[in-house]
Structure 1
Amino acid sequence: MQFLPLILLVVLFYFMLIRPQMKRNREHRDMLSKLVKGDEVVTSGGIAGKIVDIGEAYLSVEVADNVHIKIQKASVATVLPKGTLKTL
């Protein structure tokens, strides 16, 4: 009976902290695996651009006309809907 509050606390931490974080990581991994050439993305640093080349660990992103930068795949925060960059 003395360990019951401790066990409840561990279960609470699992469902409130650990499980949601694992779900976010899985969703991010799935998003990264579905990236294709031509997708418009925003990096975790706030840089928006269009993917022009995809490697194993790096992406080449066009941020302006004929300006390409290489970024790590893991730094992609979101994928924007097509045509969003023209409105920015």
Structure 2
Amino acid sequence: MIQLFTDVAYAQTAGKAAQPSIFEILVMPAALVVIMYLFVIRPQQKKAKDQLSLIGGLKVGDEVVTTGGIIGRVKSIADQFITLEAGANTFLKIQKSHITSTPIAKPEAK
């Protein structure tokens, strides 16, 4: 019976806990920041830059797609808003920031 208690007592004694290395303290968090930058922040910045160039290059008569999926032709351009013609006598006034792309051209049949 005493043997059982001594085994438990020896099992509970632990050596010194190992100190974390400088690698674990500094390098690993820095690596995580670099990975976040490469896979999240940088692609988002590229997409925002492409969006601004698309909006800046719009002219009357261009076909565009909105964030809501509406396809229309640009009728007028103001500072913050664009007027789209979505159908016959159907005009929509939307913010420039809601223009996402131009429609994909269909390949011509041979």
Output the TM-score relative to the length of structure 2: 0.71
Question: Which of structures 1 and 2 has the larger relative contact order (alpha carbons within 8 angstroms, sep 6+)?
Answer: 1
Runs of 4+ residues deviating >2 angstroms: none
Aligned to 1:37: 60
1:1-88 pair list within 5 angstroms: 1=22, 2-80=25-103
RMSD value, Cα: 1.4
CA distance in structure 2 between the aligned counterparts of 1:69 and 1:4, rounded to whole angstroms: 53
Higher strand content, 1 or 2: 1
Number of paired residues? 83
- What are structure 1's unaligned runs of at least 5 residues? none
Please give the per-residue CA displacement for 1:27-77, whole angstroms capped at 9, x wherever unaligned. Answer: 001100000000001100011110000001100000111111100011011
Q: Post-superposition shift, 1:81?
A: 5.8
Percent sequence identity over aligned pairs:
33
Whichever of the two has the greater Rg, that structure is 2
- What are structure 2's unaligned runs of at least 5 residues? 1-21
